[in-house]
Structure formats: structure tokens, C-alpha cells
Chains A and B, each alone.
Chain A
Amino acid sequence: MALAEAGEQADTPTFSVRQLCAWFGDQRVLHGINLGIPRHEATAVIGPSGCGKSTFIRCLNRMHELVPAARVEGQVCLEGVDVYERGIDPVLLRRRVGMVFQKPNPFPSMSVRDNVLAGLRLTGSMPTGRGAREEQIVERALSQAALWDEVKDRLDDPGLGLSGGQQQRLCIARALAVSPDVLLMDEPCSALDPIASAKIEDLIHSLKQSYTIVVVTHSMQQAARVSDRTAFFLAGSLIEFDTTDRIFTSPKDSRTEDYITGKFG
């Protein structure tokens, strides 16, 4: 039974997206996207600015609808359940689908430790029997985010005192502390220097053992380095979706080829 379940999960994608359309007011920014995001893999979403790649991942955890006048149509199934179905609480969905943003955004008034615990505290879902347990959560999340060794002696310092790259890994730790299944990353390295970016990329490699990862990036090199599959978006449409190898070595669509060879974008 357990085996059968595991086998099934390996086959059915974590996210299957069908005919997804999104609007800002009257402006349509996504045109009928269809794609499946496999479990415990890193999927990169690439494309020129304004192609709808950020909007796309924000539809996956229903952050898109927080923008006034934003609207979504179509289906986004997370392990078989349509997240846009009536009765689905977006708040609970977001606890399963964490997100990391372009600019590191640790909570400015909180220490490193409190930032990691922020998700649990905000939502009032701190496990009972505190003390040691709290320390465990902090250590586990920070270790997963490859930050523990750098900050273990200054857990009570303000989170904003860390460097930009450390702040971004702190935000990753904060997202991991609520134990999501999926981690969405919206250009997580665009505000970072190359060394800090490399650390985040290494992190993506290790995190995909236990999490499904979707990463939006404007850097094709980054997509090639970190992802198993790549989706190429252009003007709100999904042009091509395949394994990263094939996208970068033998793309089927000429527009994908033009983009990855730097003819536009």
C-alpha cells in the first residue's frame, strides 16, 4: 500500500496546471497555460521580463489574487486537488506552498531566530511543548537553508544585520520552518552577488531531495545549472516545456532557440 502510494506520487506531478489564465484588471497576462510540475524536482521558469513567469508561480499559491483587480481562471491541481475550488482556503494552501521573493524580506523588527519562527508564530501553529522544540525547529530550518554554521552564534541579532545573501537564505529557512511541500522562488538571486547566488543554487540542489521547487529566473545559465525541467514563457504563453537538457540543447520551438541563444530578451 505504502509502496503503491509512493509509486503513484512519483508519477503524478505535484502541480498539474490546466488552461490557466490570469488577468490584472482588463489586461490578460497568462493565456491558457498547461503544464505538470513533477515532485521533488527543480523546475525553472524562464522568459523575458513581462512574460508572465512571476504571475504564473504566484497563481500556484494563490498570491496573485491578493493584488486588487487580479483574477484567475483555469485549474491548478496540487496533488489532485484543484486549489481554486470552492472551499479551499488560500491561507492553508500557502502553508503547503511556501514562497521566497526577489528581494530578501526578513521581518525588520525580528532577530534571526524569530524570523525563522515567524511563520509558526504568525499562524499560531507553534508546536506545543516549547523550549527545546523551538531550538530544534530553528536549527533544522537554518541547516536546511545552509545558514546554520554562519549564524548559530548570533541567533538573537537582528535579521537585517545579515548580508544580502544570508538574508535570502534566512527567508528560505523561514519558508521551510512551516514545513511546506513545495517551495516557489521568484528570482531569488536577482538582488544578490554571484557568490551569494552560487550558494542559493547549491541550496536548490540539496532542497529538491525533499521539496518540489519552482524557480523563476531571468538567468538562463542559472536555469541550466539548477533545474531538471525548464518552462519557457513568452508574452503570457507557455512556448515550450521539457527537460532542461533538451530545452538548452535541442529546443523544438524556434522562439525558444532564439531566446536561449540570446537573440532577444
Chain B
Amino acid sequence: MHMQRTGVRFGERLFVGLCLLGVSLPLGLLLVLLGALVKAGMARLEGNFLLAYPSRHANLAGILPALVGSLWLISLTALLTLPVGVGAAIYLEEYQRRGRLARWVEINIANLAGVPSVVYGLLGLAVFVRQLGLGRSVLAGAATLALLVLPLVILSAREALRTVPQSLREACHALGATRWQAIGRVVLPMALPGILTGSILALSRAIGETAPLIVVGALTIVTFLPDGIHSPYTALPMQIFAWVSRPQQEFLANAAAGIVVLLTCMLLVNGIAIWLRQRLQVRAG
């Protein structure tokens, strides 16, 4: 019986090495990017930057309207997407009879998730801004972003509903519960952590979107805060885009600082998603 190492072991080590490289490469790139951004924007990263309005002078310009605008957008988007998305997922997963139509709907939702965001912008422009007469309002922007993330929310909510064991639905039915009672009292509460995580991650994608907002008419220089759903607005990525396009060098520092703020927001949102999931899972046992 021979016990020498063979080539198989070497192959395995090579594979693990490659995987490690695959992990460290993007992580390294991300760190370099973050480092460069923080270095470039360092000078502008102070309390006043968050609280000031845009200005012709780079060192006085702040990001407040964009930050507040983004908060408005994301809250409205959440309000619009969650009920529709979760409702659609419940219908598709719990009520829809399997068949051709179901498969067709499924494929189309998956396709919609891959449609470029500009296209949603154009749709938003035609439907919300023009047809429904919402104009260049926060509501029009949020509705457009809602369309954009809706397929993602539906897909992740369906995934979450699928993790609830069939045996629990059967238990409900055997006790004389209707489908709706089973969903409302057992299935949905169990799927909630997954639904929330998926939805929040989808929403965090909406925070970073620029293209559709340009199309539906978010402004770039705004010296006021939105005061309602019909108010004009700007958003973080729009503000960053505007600063990058300025010819003056000094504004680049503002853009870098703006990106750091945007990334922090996204990190925060993702953190909330993870925290929520863990909290709810503990409660659900």
C-alpha cells in the first residue's frame, strides 16, 4: 500500500489557490478604489459637506439636497415596490397554477431584471413624466426606480417563499385553514426575513442608479430640499455626475467625497438587511 502524495492533491491545492485569488482580486480592487476615493475626497469630508447646498465655489459646495433627495427617492420606491412585488411573488408562488402561462411570466420577469436601466428611464419618461403628468417630480423618479427594482424584488421574494417547507402549508390545510390563512399566518411570517433582505438589497441598487434619473429629469443643481412627492429633486449619483462633469479640478474632490457618502449609504442599507435577517431568524427559530 503506497501512501505518497499524488497529483490529485496538487490539483486540489491549485484550485483552492485560484479560488483564493478570485476572492482577493475584487476585494483588493475595492480597497484600492476606496482608498483612492477617501484620499481624493479627504479635504471635503467634513460635517459641513453633508449639510451644505451646492455652490459655485467647490470648497463651499455640499451634498444635502442630493442626500435628502436620495432618501426621498428610496423611501418612495420602497413604498411602491414592496406591496406590489411581494403581492406578485405570493400570487406566482402560492396561487398560480403551473402551466405555460406561468412559465412565460417567469421567463419575462427574469428578463425584465436584466433590462438596462436607461430603458426603464425612457419608459418612466413616457409613462410617468409625460402620460401621467407627474413632471420632473420625486414621485416620477421613484416610480421609475420602482419599475427597475420590481423584478428583483419579485424574484427574491419568490425565492424566500420557496424556502418555507411544503409540509407546513399542508399542516395548515389539514387544520382547515384556507390558502390565505396559511399564507398570512404561517408562510409569510416565515419567509419575511428572506423577503426583507432581498428587497433591501434590490433597493440599495436603486440608490446608486443614475441613468434612469437623468432621463426622467432629476436636476443637478438644487438649492432646496424636496417638500413633497411633486417636488423637483436631485439624488446622490446625479450630484456626483454633475461634479465630475465640471471643468474645474476642485470639484473632483467633491465628487470623490460624494462617492464616499454614497458608498457609506449603501453599506449602511446592506448592513440593515443583514441585521434584520439575523434578528428575524432568531425570532422565527
The answer to whether A94 and B190 have CB atoms under 8 Å apart is: no
Q: Encode contact with B along A101-131: 1 for CB under 8 Å, 0 otherwise.
A: 1010101110000000011011110000000
A208 sits at the interface (CB 8 A): no
The answer to whether A101 and B175 have CB atoms under 8 Å apart is: no
Chain A, residue nearest B96 (CB): A68
Chain A, residue nearest B186 (CB): A107
Given contacts A107-B168, A109-B284, A123-B181, are A92 and B176 in contact (CB under 8 A)? yes
By a CB distance below 8 angstroms, the chain A residues around B174 are 61, 63, 94, 98-101, 175
B98, B173, B186: the one within 8 Å of A63 (CB): B173
Interface size class, chain B: 20 to 34
A169 sits at the interface (CB 8 A): no
By a CB distance below 8 angstroms, the chain A residues around B75 are none
The answer to whether A63 and B167 have CB atoms under 8 Å apart is: no
The answer to whether B173 and A66 have CB atoms under 8 Å apart is: yes
By a CB distance below 8 angstroms, the chain B residues around A175 are 174-175
B178 sits at the interface (CB 8 A): yes
By a CB distance below 8 angstroms, the chain A residues around B176 are 91-95, 119, 122-123, 178
> Which residues of A197-243 have CB atoms within 8 Å of chain B's CB atoms?
none
A68–B96 CA distance with the chains assembled, in angstroms: 10
B98, B167, B186: the one within 8 Å of A101 (CB): B167
The answer to whether B189 and A109 have CB atoms under 8 Å apart is: yes
Could you list some 12 contacts between A and B, CB below 8 A? A92-B176, A93-B176, A101-B167, A103-B167, A105-B171, A108-B284, A109-B283, A119-B177, A122-B182, A123-B176, A123-B181, A174-B171
A99–B185 CA distance with the chains assembled, in angstroms: 19
Chain B, residue nearest A160 (CB): B285
Given contacts A94-B176, A95-B175, A109-B284, are A122 and B186 in contact (CB under 8 A)? yes
By a CB distance below 8 angstroms, the chain A residues around B172 are 122
B97, B170, B185: the one within 8 Å of A122 (CB): B185
A99–B174 CA distance with the chains assembled, in angstroms: 6
A171 sits at the interface (CB 8 A): yes
A32 sits at the interface (CB 8 A): no
Main secondary structure of the interface of A (DSSP, over half): mixed
Chain A, residue nearest B184 (CB): A122
A36 sits at the interface (CB 8 A): no
A158 sits at the interface (CB 8 A): yes
8 tightest A-B CB contacts, nearest first: A95-B176, A119-B175, A99-B174, A122-B177, A105-B167, A94-B176, A109-B284, A105-B171
Shortest beta-carbon distance from A121 to chain B in Å: 7
By a CB distance below 8 angstroms, the chain B residues around A66 are 170, 173
Shortest beta-carbon distance from B103 to chain A in Å: 13
Shortest beta-carbon distance from A173 to chain B in Å: 12
B165 sits at the interface (CB 8 A): yes
By a CB distance below 8 angstroms, the chain A residues around B190 are 108-109
A99–B167 CA distance with the chains assembled, in angstroms: 12
Chain B, residue nearest A90 (CB): B173
> Which residues of B157-210 have CB atoms within 8 Å of chain A's CB atoms?
165, 167-168, 170-178, 181-182, 185-186, 189-190
By a CB distance below 8 angstroms, the chain B residues around A103 are 167
By a CB distance below 8 angstroms, the chain B residues around A105 are 165, 167-168, 170-171
Shortest beta-carbon distance from A126 to chain B in Å: 12
